[in-house]
């Protein structure tokens, strides 16, 4: 498993966080997704053979959030 940490500025609202976590966890290859409400940090554990970092970033953006 690989890990990545992204920053999502808008990920401070509880509803936005829950929606983001659910969207990420529904993807094949995502094992864990945790969002820190304090700074918008998103920690993701994933299988790089099934999903790429770029695909993860695209899903986040499709959910109306911006990866920094």
CATH number of the domain within which 20 lies:
3.30.70.100
HSE-up of residue 39 (Cα within 13 Å, Cβ side): 7
Classify residue 49: in a domain, yes or no.
Answer: yes
Q: How many residues does the chain have?
A: 68
Enclosing domain of residue 55: 2-62
Domain annotation covers residue 18: yes
Q: Report if residue 67 sits inside a domain.
A: no
Taking the CB of residue 16, how many other CB atoms lie within 10 A of it? 18
Domain presence at residue 14: yes
3-class SS at 24? Answer: helix
Asked whether residue 68 carries a pLDDT value surpassing 80, the answer given is yes
* pLDDT tens string 21-67: 999 999 999 999 998 878 889 999 999 999 999 999 999 998 888 89
- Structural domain total, the chain: 1
Is residue 22 in some structural domain? yes
Q: What is the pTM of this model?
A: 0.84
Q: Averaged over 1-18, what is the pLDDT?
A: 85
Q: Is the dihedral of CA 56, 34, 10, 68 positive or negative?
A: negative
Domain-located, residue 68: no
């Amino acid at each position: 498993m690989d890990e990545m940490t992204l920053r999502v500025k808008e990920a401070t609202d509880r509803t936005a966080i829950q929606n983001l976590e659910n969207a990420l966890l529904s993807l094949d290859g995502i094992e864990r997704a945790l969002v820190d409400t304090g700074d918008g940090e998103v920690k993701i554990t994933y299988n790089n053979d099934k999903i790429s970092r770029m695909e993860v970033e695209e899903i986040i953006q499709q959910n109306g959030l911006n990866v920094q």
